Structure 1
Amino acid sequence: MFRHYFQIAWRNLLKRKFYTLINVAGLAIGMTCCVLISVYLYHENSYDRYHTKRDRLYRVVQTFRTSEPGATMVAPTPQDYQVWGCAPVGPALQADFPEIEKVVQFMSPNGMLLQQGDKRVQQDNLLFMDSTAFDVFSWKMIYGDPHTALTAPFSIVLTKSVAQKFFGNSNPVGQALRVNNEANIMVTGVMEDLPPNSQFTFNGLISMTTMHKYREEIFGWWGYVDFYTYLLLKENTDIKSLQAKADDFVRRHNATDRGYSIKFEKMTDAYLHSQATRQPGPTGSMLNVYLFLCIAIFIMLIACINFMNLSTARSLERAREVGVRKVLGVRPKSLMWQFLFESILLSLAAAIIAMALAKPGIALIEELSGKEIAYVNFFNPWIFVAMVVFAVVVGLGAGIYPAWFLSGFRAITVLKGKFNPASGNISLRKVLVVFQFTLSIALIAGTIIVFNQLKFLNRQDLGFQKEQMVVINFEGDGKVQNNIESIKKAIADQPGVISVAASRAVPGEFLPNAYTGVQATDGQMSFRGPLIYEIDFDFIPVYHIPLVAGRPYSRSYLTDSAQGMVINEAAAKLYGYSNPADAVGKKFDQWGRKGTIIGVVKDFNFRSLHQAVEPLTLRYGYPDNLARISVTIKGDNIPATLAHIRTTWDKMAPQRPFMYHFLDESFGAQYEADQHFGQLFTFFSCLAIIIACLGLLGLSTFMAQQRVKEIGVRKVLGSSVSGIVVLLSKDFIKLVLVAIVIAVPLCTWAMNEWLKDFAYRISIGPIVFFEAGIITVAVALLTIAWQSVKAARANPVQSLRNE
């Protein structure tokens, strides 16, 4: 029976090569998209799942909120929690709860100058971490003992790629590295590089006992925030029972801080599902996952609709075949299976093509997404079986209605020549065309909105100068700090340099919170936790940050460096001053320094535009707290200016490599994930349009063939080519216009959800849908124009000679 089905299907497919090609091409592109999106979504959902003990891995998220005395403290929201917390919480949890098997803590990443012999590398992303790290996390050690590698002070475990920079492929365990030109540290292990689906991004681990040697006091401070705490629970531990005890735990250990609370978050939820701030690594977006999942479904629906439309539109060609076979005794059920077999055969052919395209397609997805996708073995038997099942399901889904429709023809009506297929399926066909173009228009409009938002981000006035700003990163080098003013002056004297400033951090970089008291409107000190920049006298004027009240730091006032402080407008509002000028002259108390507020700067976007401007204090930073030098340069000869700065730097700070970046590039890197999302969205949207146009091409070609005699009569009666083209096109254009109307609310809702992730965003206006409609109508006209013109210019004698 299947052999018989195959022979008939094969003959029919070869007989109508053009329509077969369109159907296979549409299904193949759709399946390829689904495979690529599935691989991408699998990668997004696989973060941190390589740990063998992942089901027992949790992390502690903490809140550090402030409130006025006597005020009611409401329950924290998910956004109030942050992963970045204090050190004492880890040992205290282990001591109080026997359900916890291991605790591992690590600090914020550091950049350090590593040297071995004559090799010097400024290495970023080095973490101070507990010795229990390799007992908790599934990181593979190449050299060294994972259980003891991080036990001794001044020991370091390098990743494979970093170890190769200094030692090649040899075993470096027992070798020493010079750190920051100050102390030696012993290499006690080399581990495999982290997999691409890891939220951790470090390049090396330094034993936490090393930090104990430098700053033992911070490990007992509940208010000092610079640690990440992860827990490994014992088997069969219910995290809910542990969470139920969290409030009592906090009251026992930190009762005086009403704003402090903790909760536990599953580690495998960290990348996609966490709403906590201050993450230790990159995070994804569950909304983006849903959007791409919807795109995959949309694309397959469009491909299947193409198949259904062409199959039902060509019903007249198969009607006599159905009538003859029914007269010969073939049952409708067998006919239905015959047509389903044809659609499954087409789907399997498309699946083969999709598998062939998937491998190079993944490389393209990696480039568009900016992510290294974990290797996928398409020759895996399970993947092969899954693809066959997928192809069969698609074939059944696309072919079920055409099979039912074609097998339902009445034999006597067909053979008498009274059968009119259009009357039975034209309404459904129009609905399907409207549906697929609704999806296509929504994707086009979504693409326009994404790129309008990205353009808005790039053009938004941030409130400070970031163009032609070179940032030199010296990572707190002591010799540079001790000679900072001389180095700044030497750089400022170079040709092409406009101005120079120093700071602990620059816009776009990580900032700590500072427990800060400011005299409130009632005269009492109000303590809050704004962010903090430590800057020198020149930072505010060099960055062109405007003041709205008071003045900036000045060398003319001897007390500014010890008793002055500048805040932003948001900080003034935090302490109750809606008029910034009212905050000037008020007392402050911050990190052991007391004095008065001397100025208020206008709010500037020192962070990504995903976030609203937060309260900020700009504190004068003593040289031993500075780590960056900002240099404003002219734009006429940048390479020569950089060469002059490098020469000066090598002379003034020979112990430190000249490491620099342009601020606009580093600040823009915050939107890299958004840029990649826009590229992926555009890519798949374009493919969806291509598939829809393939269907439109096939449908318009068939309709032109069906109306060939009508076109001939019209030409004989004097119709012009343009008039006939309009005749053949207007029905399709009407459907596209209906699709535009339906797509507007659908797209508006979906993209407004996406835009909620930005504190500063565009509004979705009608112009977006006008542009999307123009694009869609133009694409549709181009698609059907060739066939319409061809039909209109045909010789009417050829079409009418048999009448």
Structure 2
Amino acid sequence: MSEVRPPRLFTKFFKWYCKAPLQESILGDLEEAFYTEVESKGQLIARWKYIWTILRFIRPGIVRSLEGTQKLNNYGMIKNNIKIGMRSILRNKVFSILNVTGLSVGLASCLLILIYVKNELSYDTFNANYDRTYRVIQHFGGRGSDLKNEILPTSEYQVWGNAPIAPALQEYYPQIESVFRFTSQFNWLVEYKGNRYQEKDVVFGDSTFYKVFSWDWLAGDAETALVRPSTIILTKKLAEKYFGNENPIGESLLMDGDELFEVTGVFEIPANSHFQVDAIISMSTFKGYRPEIFDAWGYVDFYTYFTLNEQANIHDLGEQIPDFLTKYYDTEYGYTFQFEALKDAYLNSDAGRQPGPVGSKNNIYLFISVAVFILLIACINFVNISTARSIDRAKEVAVRKTLGSRRSPLISQFLIESVLITFFAALVAVLMVSLGHGYLELFIGKQLSVDWLFSPVSLLIGLLLVLLLGVLAGLYPAFILSNYRPLQVLRGSFKNSSKGIWLRKTLVVLQFALSIMLLAGTAIVYQQLNYIRDYDKGFESEQILVIDYGGDYKVKRNIDFIKAELLKHSAVESVSVSRATPGDFFPNAGTTIETPNGEMLAKSPAIYEIDEDFIPTYDMHMVAGRNFSKSFPTDTTKALLVNEATAKLYGYSNPEDIVGKNFSQWGREGKVIGVVEDFNYVSLHSEVEPLALRYSIWWSTEKFSVKLKSTDLGSTLGELEAIWKEAVPSYPFNTYFNDMSFDNQYEADERFGIIFYSFSILAVFVACLGLFGLTIYTTNQRAKEIGIRKVLGASVQRIVTTLSFDFIKLYCIALLLAIPVAYWIMSTWLASFAYQTSIGWQVFGFAASITLAVSLLTMSFKTIGAAMSNPTKILKDE
């Protein structure tokens, strides 16, 4: 670890400006205070206080003498300009507050969005071998051996694959350093000291995990933790859940009521990992249960990751895939695989069956656009108000020029004022970020690190950006103000420049356009989320209570008895048992079905294992053939249901035609007896995929689906829990409603929508601030015109209309510009959904109406007051 020391850059800066005789004593005190702060409050706070103290020491008594140069004069001039700038800011409180508020909201919004975007881009970067880590994505397509030489799109592959590819890769490719496999999640009933819990995020994993992933290792020996059978490592959260503050190493957990697992390690996966687990059981344990699957290339239940040595090139490995398949798995089934970089796993992968949730590049691009829009609107406000106020400061400029001031000092004066306003806005923005950071975490459901934002490097970059933003925002107004001719101004013949007027109009158009685009985007996001919620998924999920018993052996042995007990309750309409329910995890199955030309075609559709009550419980519809039935005993072993997508996959455009065809699947052979209407068993981000439904033997079940007809769900759940505890005293009553579970797939979309709404509202608020400022200025400039119009008999309504008409013309131009751009941006975003709402004129009508209404309401606060003012007070000096 590197030595802790004060920031060198600021130490050098202090030595540069401080008087030589004072340097040693002051630096000694500063360093002593720094190390004291490190011990008591940590390095980050100590560095921040060190920097702040050095900046506070910039004062006349400490700054070194600059005799013999012009620097002292420049220092004095800058000091004088800062004083004048502060006076000008305080003298024009309304405009200063509008500028600072607009800029601070814009900067705070950008910082919060930056925090979110940085977190999204940081996924998996904590790994030491981040740039050299890859994973295997596999294709089980049944399309023929020609796939060995064919590169399919990534969407045709899935991350979930077989077990034997891992040792085969390490044997075939000498460039591979380490390989790590882990399985999909398993449900376990964990017992410790009489307390029982159902844990869902438990996987089996190889002992090489620490060579591939740089997780935080907290206790135990990582090298040996998962070598032996019946060993388990826990996350810090799970370890504290069972053992509190005690050392868990060497302790044992009773798993599924009949096997003891020794705790050999405690770890923590960083929050910005693309997958999370709560515990890992040694892979040697799994091998002891089912050794045959570790040689089965067609069995799917593993995720495989590996690291390359520094000299290796992943493209070289990819080119050898056909030869690899010829050596290890030369089959006509059509199996193939590719490699995907770890850096693409979270944001750039469209492979199926991901081990965890993935991010969205489109959402990131949209947020970045919103940040740019808000900052642009804030800068437009500043430029507009500054140029509009140019007439008010014309006499000041004229007097200073008459007294001999050159143009460059005037430009410096106005730029310093701009930088001061930006600096104050930045301070307010930092305060807003510190207050809003917690709400942002709450909205998106993730921990967002902000320590990097207050590091010395980030602060220095921030100061430079504030300086740059202040200069850019104030550059045009500074040049306009400094260019006034004193003779014209002092004679009273000065008029505002037409160029300045056109600039303000152009910027107002841009501001209106950005606001309309944001509101239209907000409306489309809201409309799409509602569309997803209300879309007919093809099954009924409300009032269906799922009891998850994790495939517990004791429960499975008494399924019929438990079903009968649950059905005795008056609020229970039906009960079904299955391995999965809509929205849950499900496997794929190698399935061979007879095609229209009589050939047996092998594919790998998803599979549901269900009983005869599953389809009626979820109110699904048969479009051909029949459902499973107890009237046909052979249905349990020789019958198969498919959905419409599967019928099309095997060449049947008419679902009726696949009924009666032969099939072979997972050791069963028989006939297809029926076709279920397509239902969305996964997220609406994807189209309905092929699905086979087979009758579940008792040992392959994990869940009860209980259809309720009660309105008093609270008491009903209590009564069902009592029935469960009576029938199954050994297993906890773990339940959830299927509609809530299914909708959890859209949690990320819902959170995105909330954040997008919030920032859009902030953008419109900033735009209104600028519009309010311009309205104040315009009405002040036209005060005499308003007075004359009132004297001549103009009504309040007529005056308000006259004052608002110029803005309405600009608004109409902005509307024409905003609609096509907003349509293109949001069409791109909607493309990530397989089922998407249409973008109608109503969306833009809503955005246009809201923007116009808010704008008119904002202007009315000043225009109505001006129109109702007493004309004699305005014209008394004329």
Q: If the TM-score is normalised by the length of the shorter chain, which range does it land in?
A: over 0.9
Residue 69 of structure 1 and its aligned partner are, at CA, apart by: 8.2
8 A contact 1:565–1:596 mirrored in 2? yes
Residue 374 of structure 1 and its aligned partner are, at CA, apart by: 2.4
Code of the residue aligned with 1:64 in structure 2: it is F
Partner of 1:48: 124
Aligned equivalent of 1:337, options 387, 392, 412: 412
* Inter-CA distance 697–139: structure 2 relative to 1 (3 Å threshold): same
1:452 correspondence with 2:527: yes
1:166 correspondence with 2:242: yes
Code of the residue aligned with 1:45 in structure 2: it is L
8 A contact 1:534–1:618 mirrored in 2? yes
TM-score, normalization: structure 1?
0.98
Partner of 2:78: 2
Q: How does 1:288-687 map to 2 (within 5 A)?
A: 288-376=363-451, 378-687=453-762
SS at 1:576 equivalent? coil
Partner of 1:96: 172
Code of the residue aligned with 2:290 in structure 1: it is R
Aligned equivalent of 1:145, options 196, 203, 221: 221
* Inter-CA distance 105–124: structure 2 relative to 1 (3 Å threshold): same
8 A contact 1:355–1:378 mirrored in 2? no
Q: How does 1:644-793 map to 2 (within 5 A)?
A: 644-793=719-868
8 A contact 2:148–2:325 mirrored in 1? no
1:287 correspondence with 2:362: yes
CA deviation string 1:391-415 (max 9, x = no partner): 1121112111111222222233223
Residue 171 of structure 1 and its aligned partner are, at CA, apart by: 0.7
Residue 440 of structure 1 and its aligned partner are, at CA, apart by: 0.9
Partner of 2:200: 124
CA distance in 1 between counterparts of 2:607 and 2:407 reads 77
SS at 1:121 equivalent? strand
TM-score, normalization: structure 2?
0.90
SS at 1:225 equivalent? coil
CA distance in 2 between counterparts of 1:98 and 1:583 reads 48
Partner of 1:13: 89
CA distance in 2 between counterparts of 1:280 and 1:261 reads 20
Residue 446 of structure 1 and its aligned partner are, at CA, apart by: 0.5
CA distance in 2 between counterparts of 1:239 and 1:580 reads 44
Q: How does 1:190-205 map to 2 (within 5 A)?
A: 190-192=266-268, 194-205=269-280
Q: Which 10-residue stretch deviates more, 586-595 or 725-734? A: 725-734
CA deviation string 1:724-760 (max 9, x = no partner): 1111112112222221221111111111111111111
Residue 704 of structure 1 and its aligned partner are, at CA, apart by: 0.3
CA deviation string 1:208-267 (max 9, x = no partner): 000000011111111111111111212232222222323322232222146332222221
Q: How does 1:260-271 map to 2 (within 5 A)?
A: 260-271=335-346
Q: Which 10-residue stretch deviates more, 67-76 or 557-566? A: 67-76
1:37 correspondence with 2:110: no
8 A contact 1:67–1:73 mirrored in 2? no
CA deviation string 1:555-592 (max 9, x = no partner): 01111111111111111111111111111111111111
Partner of 1:25: 101
CA distance in 2 between counterparts of 1:253 and 1:596 reads 33
SS at 1:753 equivalent? helix
Residue 74 of structure 1 and its aligned partner are, at CA, apart by: 5.0
SS at 1:735 equivalent? helix
- Runs of 4+ residues over 4 Å off in structure 1: 68-74
Code of the residue aligned with 1:176 in structure 2: it is S
SS at 2:495 equivalent? coil
8 A contact 2:148–2:322 mirrored in 1? no
Partner of 2:33: none
CA deviation string 1:334-365 (max 9, x = no partner): 22222111111110110111111111211111
CA distance in 2 between counterparts of 1:395 and 1:63 reads 55
Partner of 1:77: 153
Code of the residue aligned with 1:431 in structure 2: it is T
Q: Which 10-residue stretch deviates more, 218-227 or 72-81? A: 72-81
Code of the residue aligned with 2:188 in structure 1: it is M
SS at 1:566 equivalent? strand
CA distance in 2 between counterparts of 1:362 and 1:482 reads 51
8 A contact 2:145–2:333 mirrored in 1? no
8 A contact 2:382–2:770 mirrored in 1? yes
CA distance in 2 between counterparts of 1:691 and 1:765 reads 27
CA deviation string 1:421-465 (max 9, x = no partner): 152311111110110111111110101100111111111111111
CA distance in 1 between counterparts of 2:284 and 2:348 reads 33
Residue 200 of structure 1 and its aligned partner are, at CA, apart by: 2.2
* Inter-CA distance 39–440: structure 2 relative to 1 (3 Å threshold): same
Q: Which 10-residue stretch deviates more, 310-319 or 377-386? A: 377-386
8 A contact 1:62–1:83 mirrored in 2? yes
CA distance in 2 between counterparts of 1:792 and 1:260 reads 78
CA distance in 2 between counterparts of 1:250 and 1:802 reads 96
Gap regions ≥5 residues in structure 1: none
1:106 correspondence with 2:187: no
Aligned equivalent of 2:162, options 76, 86, 105: 86
* Inter-CA distance 705–250: structure 2 relative to 1 (3 Å threshold): same
Code of the residue aligned with 1:432 in structure 2: it is L
Gap regions ≥5 residues in structure 2: 1-76
Code of the residue aligned with 1:99 in structure 2: it is Q
8 A contact 1:139–1:191 mirrored in 2? yes
* Inter-CA distance 331–247: structure 2 relative to 1 (3 Å threshold): farther
8 A contact 1:199–1:281 mirrored in 2? yes
SS at 1:409 equivalent? coil
SS at 1:315 equivalent? coil
Residue 297 of structure 1 and its aligned partner are, at CA, apart by: 0.9
SS at 2:338 equivalent? strand
SS at 1:341 equivalent? helix
8 A contact 1:154–1:210 mirrored in 2? yes
CA distance in 2 between counterparts of 1:594 and 1:15 reads 89
8 A contact 2:578–2:611 mirrored in 1? yes
CA distance in 1 between counterparts of 2:146 and 2:425 reads 69
Code of the residue aligned with 2:621 in structure 1: it is P
Code of the residue aligned with 2:525 in structure 1: it is V
8 A contact 2:147–2:336 mirrored in 1? no
Q: What RMSD in Å do the two structures reach over aligned CA positions?
A: 1.5
Q: Which 10-residue stretch deviates more, 246-255 or 46-55? A: 246-255
Code of the residue aligned with 1:585 in structure 2: it is G
CA distance in 2 between counterparts of 1:322 and 1:622 reads 90
1:115 correspondence with 2:195: no
CA distance in 2 between counterparts of 1:61 and 1:70 reads 18
Q: Which 10-residue stretch deviates more, 664-673 or 75-84? A: 75-84
CA distance in 2 between counterparts of 1:604 and 1:684 reads 35
* Inter-CA distance 7–333: structure 2 relative to 1 (3 Å threshold): same
Code of the residue aligned with 1:62 in structure 2: it is Q
8 A contact 2:188–2:199 mirrored in 1? yes
8 A contact 2:144–2:332 mirrored in 1? no
